[in-house]
Amino acid sequence: MNKRLIIAVLATGALALGGCSTTPTNAQVGATAGAVVGGVMGSALTGSTAGTVIGAGAGAAVGHEIGKRIK
């Protein structure tokens, strides 16, 4: 059981680091920041998992659009 967990953690870490091989665009940074802020706000306002997920999705969409417009 522990061997599977270690392999899963290592594989996840390798995939996460592989995604950072290039500099992210402003749209990607905006989407990430928006998702974090939206998720926190959704959780704070509703106190539910659904509110957190909806807030994160809405925040990511808004953050992506704002990031695209920043040069």
Distance between CA atoms of residues 41 and 22, nearest Å: 30
**Model confidence over 10-45: pLDDT tens digits?**
888 777 767 666 777 888 889 989 999 999 999 999
CA distance 14 to 3: 17
Residues 39, 30: Cα–Cα separation, whole Å = 14
Which pLDDT value is given to residue 20? Answer: 66
What global pTM score does this model have?
A: 0.68
pLDDT at 61 over 90: yes
pLDDT band at 71 (very low <50, low <70, confident <90, very high): confident
Q: Return the pLDDT at 11.
A: 83
